[in-house]
């Protein structure tokens, strides 16, 4: 089943320099992290990150998204499109 676009909500956050926790105010524990997009904070090329590979695909803690990869995303402002756990 496809999730209607209106059910997604965006959360902006800054990545980490390697695996670790990123502050993502507004994410609730258990919410699905469906898509992550963004650009370097100083401008430049589009950043592509994958939920489930670079970042967790379900928020394990409120207001946090865990970065799983060792990639340096610390200079990137990312947008996560999330689906509430209550759906």
The pLDDT of residue 66 is 97
Query: Measuring CA to CA, which residue among 20, 37, 18, 17 is closest to residue 81?
Result: 37
Average pLDDT, the chain: 87
- For strand 64-67 and strand 20-23, is the pairing parallel, antiparallel, or unpaired? antiparallel
Q: Using DSSP, state whether 79 is helix, strand or coil.
A: strand
Domain map (residue ranges) of the chain: 7-83
Residue 33 structure tokens: 């992290």
Q: What average pLDDT does range 51-72 have in this prediction? A: 94
Of the pLDDT bands very low, low, confident and very high (cuts 50, 70, 90), residue 7 is confident
Residue 10 in contact with residue 79, Cβ under 8 Å? yes
């Amino acid at each position: 089943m496809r999730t209607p676009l209106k059910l997604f909500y965006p959360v902006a956050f800054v990545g980490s320099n390697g695996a670790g926790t990123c502050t993502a105010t507004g994410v609730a524990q258990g919410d699905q992290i469906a898509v992550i997009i963004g650009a370097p904070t100083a401008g430049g090329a589009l950043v592509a990150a994958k939920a489930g590979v670079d970042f967790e695909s379900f928020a394990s803690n409120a207001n946090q998204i865990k970065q799983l990869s060792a990639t340096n995303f610390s200079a990137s402002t990312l947008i996560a499109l999330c689906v509430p756990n209550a759906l």
